[in-house]
Structure 1
């Protein structure tokens, strides 16, 4: 009996690695002879570095970079088991988690630290970098990242513009002559799960600006500035990003990575599946167990559990999902590869208690799922 265990994190309770280990223990209790392959998963957001490093036998690295408002901070990235692929979470260098709610200001916050973190990964030997761009505190279109990797963003007097989305209207030209040549030939894969354009009513500023501290007047200013930024990029770099689906992700960092680092925007779960070699691991499996904090109607639109299950179904591997909660519309995942889903909670329980007991509940649920699967298999034979 070969079982692949490929869960996402259970947010607020368990990391993907801890969840995989708990599920594996439950399986082993029900079927001690089972061969279990734990594969922590993620979708490109928070926890992607941890999941990919653990799943590939990689290593964690640290670098001192520029924080969202210019102060030095220590950020972490991962070098995967192949020693040539790195994974970076922009939130660790330019994220909302780094700024108190009352101090958020997308007019000033910069993506410079994310660019510096990418350079640190290149210096560590990476020739391919997966960049997760969730949790952004910025709205600068990747201008700070561009400056970090050597582009000069110049005003009418030939001086560098200041950091943040509030200064982009002063940009007159982009000078690429000093671009850091260590970036040459480095493949940048951007984990992007939204299709927002850079500008307009569905753009970066209008949709995501308010959560970063922008009021209505600021949203309008930031949107105009990003539109101006896109025009200069198209003229000076011959790269059209204004209406590119996904360019508006992370305050325009999606578009900035395309323009300044030749980034390719891809669904996060697709990138993670490829990085951990999940297809080859599933081909040898009799069963797949996945899971995440909640399964509901939104899960069918490419969340981690469904991404895993779609691949498993294409290979003929049955897949069960375990979840902290089952919400309205959860049945939609049954058409997407999940054969059955189960809640961890055997009885009504307070949320705080369920989170605190998550590891034990997940282990016990996995044991019962495995026992049911084995019983069905015996009947079939």
Structure 2
């Protein structure tokens, strides 16, 4: 029997590889002769570069940049011979600000632009930008400002590149861009399909967790609408309904309109880079996947969604092990797993589920493989 173990991380608890190890241990506790293949995954958001380093060697570059609140910090990006891999969260991420400092109306993606500029200056002609986990809602104007774009109010004053100023943009000038977009190929990788604005857009869906009040969310949404209008007028691009435009506080839209980036699904990119599609052709009997929280967003483009598509295409049963499962009926109807199990169903506390996730996964995988084999 051959089991493919291919989870995402359990955020705040276990890395994807640690999840793999816990599941493998449970399987071998039942039957040490079962062949296991560990294939940790990510969906294109924060932590994706850590996953890619499991599969090929990347070097690290360090750059002093401005964090989401304009404080100096050291951020890194990865690179190989011809490509730079930049994770937005490293320079503009929510993890860089304390919970009581969260304020996406006054935060910026400027530091992400500084990482991009450093990669360009170092001669990289291919740049992969992973967006997710951002502290921002600025549509990418911070990133663009770092690269030479300028944004002006109706009074002709330059706009401070933060989310609350989007509503004041009246013109965009790309004349001082630091490099030619024809010289660099950008790909933006994200794990959500939200539009730029509206009830399913960047502000209404994500700004609350980044510190915005209800009134601020409404204003940020109006700002994103104005931003979209100005981009169409000055850059000739319609980004309003672009799937993924609302990712990372509108950075999805910003990458497309400011960098001419090609947008790609995060899980598709990671699976492509790590050779997952070839792996599932190799007589796999069962796939075990999982992530910390499984809910309705899981069916939009997360790791488990990508697993389900490939498992069903290749007629391989797959199971989901999670920290917590919400919308279970929706998951079962849309993804068709063999089973869905969660640590919280064991009746443990949240603290216990987080701190002892490895041992819980070990026991759950033992019972799962026992049930599957009987």
Q: TM-score range by the shorter chain?
A: 0.7 to 0.9
Would you say the 8 A contact 1:191–1:271 is kept in 2?
no
Would you say the 8 A contact 2:181–2:260 is kept in 1?
no
Which of residues 231, 234, 237 in structure 1 aligns to 2:232?
234
* Equivalent-residue separation in structure 2 for 1:4 and 1:107 (angstroms): 43
* Equivalent-residue separation in structure 1 for 2:64 and 2:277 (angstroms): 36
* Equivalent-residue separation in structure 1 for 2:199 and 2:279 (angstroms): 43
The Cα of 1:73 is off from its aligned counterpart by 1.2
* Equivalent-residue separation in structure 1 for 2:349 and 2:208 (angstroms): 31
The Cα of 1:282 is off from its aligned counterpart by 1.4
Q: Which runs of 5+ in 2 are unaligned?
A: none
Query: TM-score scaled by structure 2?
Result: 0.85
The Cα of 1:170 is off from its aligned counterpart by 4.6
Query: TM-score scaled by structure 1?
Result: 0.84
Q: Provide the secondary structure at the position in 2 that maps to 1:308.
A: helix
Would you say the 8 A contact 1:319–1:338 is kept in 2?
yes
Q: Show CA shifts across 1:122-151 (max 9, x none).
A: 566755444332232222211111122232
From the superposition, tell whether residues 328 and 141 of structure 1 become closer, same or farther in structure 2 (CA, over 3 Å): closer
Q: Provide the secondary structure at the position in 2 that maps to 1:73.
A: strand
Would you say the 8 A contact 2:125–2:185 is kept in 1?
yes
Instruction: Name the counterpart of 2:259.
Output: 261
Q: Provide the secondary structure at the position in 2 that maps to 1:236.
A: helix
Instruction: Name the counterpart of 2:12.
Output: 12
The Cα of 1:207 is off from its aligned counterpart by 4.0
Q: How many residues align?
A: 372
From the superposition, tell whether residues 343 and 225 of structure 1 become closer, same or farther in structure 2 (CA, over 3 Å): closer
Q: Which runs of 5+ in 1 are unaligned?
A: 377-381
The Cα of 1:266 is off from its aligned counterpart by 3.4
Q: Show CA shifts across 1:217-260 (max 9, x none).
A: 54454344433333332232211223433322322211111101
Q: Provide the secondary structure at the position in 2 that maps to 1:49.
A: helix
Would you say the 8 A contact 1:290–1:322 is kept in 2?
yes
Instruction: Name the counterpart of 1:307.
Output: 306
The Cα of 1:31 is off from its aligned counterpart by 4.0
1:237-252 aligned at under 5 Å gives the runs: 237-252=235-250
Instruction: Name the counterpart of 1:150.
Output: 148
* Equivalent-residue separation in structure 1 for 2:340 and 2:219 (angstroms): 46
* Equivalent-residue separation in structure 1 for 2:174 and 2:302 (angstroms): 39
The Cα of 1:363 is off from its aligned counterpart by 2.3
Would you say the 8 A contact 1:295–1:330 is kept in 2?
no
Would you say the 8 A contact 1:151–1:178 is kept in 2?
yes
The Cα of 1:372 is off from its aligned counterpart by 3.9
